[in-house]
Amino acid sequence: MDLITLGQLLNTTLVFSTALIFTALGGIFSERSGVINIGLEGLMVFGAFGSAVATYFAQEAGLGGLSPWIGVIAAIIIGVLGSLIHAVASITFKADQTISGTVINFLATGSTLYLVKLIFDGSGESPLITEGFNKFAIPFLSKIPVIGEGIFNSYPTTYLAFVLVAVTYYVLYKTPFGLRLRAVGEHPSAADTLGVKVLRMRYIGVMLSGALAGIGGATITLTTTSTFAHNTISGQGYIAIAAMIFGKWNPLGAFGAAVFFGFSQAIRNYVQLFDWSQNIPQEFIFMIPYVLTIIVLAGAVGRSKAPSSLGEPYDPSKR
């Protein structure tokens, strides 16, 4: 494989990874605060839908290059609104968090397709977005061999994802807010005793997961599919959950895991370039990332430790 394809492979890897990075970061905020978020898939659906519709109308209104950013903002808003359903049910009404997360997945797939058919006269798919994100080459840096083509000639969302990994890490481990968020997920009654508003922190955690998963979904419509349909989001949310657990609820770990999954998606597009791949059934090649994940988890990484109070509704009267 020559250098050019290596750069392309890296670039495609990042295209696939970006949505997973956003969503996994969102999952970290929610689960670090003690709320399981199996609804990430649905929140991505909300985001993908919101961005597809908003970007389409923005581009029709002649907003040009601004359109995809309006799409991202719409995705954030609808993602947060969707996550509020989860928050109200699981935090305020102390519903089982797995159940209310599953509810999000149902409501998201149902309501978005319902709305698409309503808005676009019975069509099962939103109209094509022409003003999606374009790749943006960073001056000078994009001239570096391999890495320049691979990393510094990406979609704006990819750069945003990189920034957010750093921001999330900083917020979680270097700010009082992050300390409180983690405390609420580990030992809510102790945090409460020290004056941390447990329920409020959990609301914030879940809403941040809605915003980030919304951006994750938007990334897919605005950089990959250019439209929203029933199969735009098909399992990426669950992969993001896997990336979060794989990365041990740490932003840097989740980032690594998301890139790993993105790489395994990208390799499919390039694997035909290798001579040895001709003799292997393609189904086996598609399986590699999933099998590898299991092997890595079983071998090197070992037990992953979830936040201690993950999944438990906080009830001050039981303190």
Partner 1 sequence: MDKFRKIFTLDNYIVPVAAVIMGLFVGAIVMLVGGYDPILAYSSLFTQVFGDMYDFGEAIREMTPFILTGLAVAFAFRAGLFNIGADGQLLIGMTAATFVGIKFTGLPFYIHAPLAVIAGGLFGGLWAAIVGFLKAKRGINEVITSIMMNWVGFYGANYVVNHFLLVPGTQQSENIAPTASISIHFLTGIFGNARLHWGTLIALVAVVFFYVYLWKTKQGYEVRAVGLNPNAAGYAGINVGRNIIKTMFISGVFAGLAGAFQVLGVFQYQSVFASSPGYGFDGIAVALLGMNNPFGVLLAAILYGTLTYGSAGMSFGADVPPELVKIVIGAIIFFIAAQGIVRWVLGPFYGKRKKEKVL
Name the residues that contact partner 1, by CB under 8 A: 38, 85, 88-90, 92-96, 98-100, 102-107, 109-111, 113-114, 117-118, 122, 231, 234-235, 238-239, 241-242, 245-246, 281, 283-284, 286-287, 290-291, 293-294, 297-298, 302-304, 306
| Nearest to partner 1 of 203, 246 (CB atom) | 246
d(CA 203, CA 93): 12
d(CA 154, CA 142): 10
**Least distance in angstroms from the C-beta of 254 to partner 1:** 12
d(CA 118, CA 288): 40
In total, the chain counts a number of residues equal to 319
**Least distance in angstroms from the C-beta of 144 to partner 1:** 35
Do 82 and 43 meet the contact criterion of CB atoms below 8 Å apart?
yes
**Least distance in angstroms from the C-beta of 42 to partner 1:** 9
Do 210 and 84 meet the contact criterion of CB atoms below 8 Å apart?
yes
| Nearest to partner 1 of 304, 308 (CB atom) | 304
94: DSSP letter: -
**Least distance in angstroms from the C-beta of 213 to partner 1:** 16
| Nearest to partner 1 of 159, 238 (CB atom) | 238
Count the alpha carbons within 13 Å of 105 in the hemisphere toward its beta carbon: 17
**Least distance in angstroms from the C-beta of 34 to partner 1:** 16
| Nearest to partner 1 of 90, 154 (CB atom) | 90
**Least distance in angstroms from the C-beta of 121 to partner 1:** 11
276: DSSP letter: G
Burial class (CB in 10 A: 0-12, 13-18, 19+), 63: middle
| Nearest to partner 1 of 107, 138 (CB atom) | 107
**Least distance in angstroms from the C-beta of 188 to partner 1:** 19
Q: How many helices (H) and strands (E) does the chain have?
A: 12, 2
**C-alpha distance from residue 71 to each of 42, 74, 114 (Å):** 17, 5, 19
Please report the beta strands in the chain, taking only residues with DSSP state E, as ranges in sequence order.
136-137, 153-154
Q: Residue 42: name the closest of 195, 206, 288, 186 by CA.
A: 206
| Nearest to partner 1 of 72, 220 (CB atom) | 220
**Least distance in angstroms from the C-beta of 142 to partner 1:** 34
d(CA 75, CA 26): 13
| Nearest to partner 1 of 195, 231 (CB atom) | 231
| Nearest to partner 1 of 151, 239 (CB atom) | 239
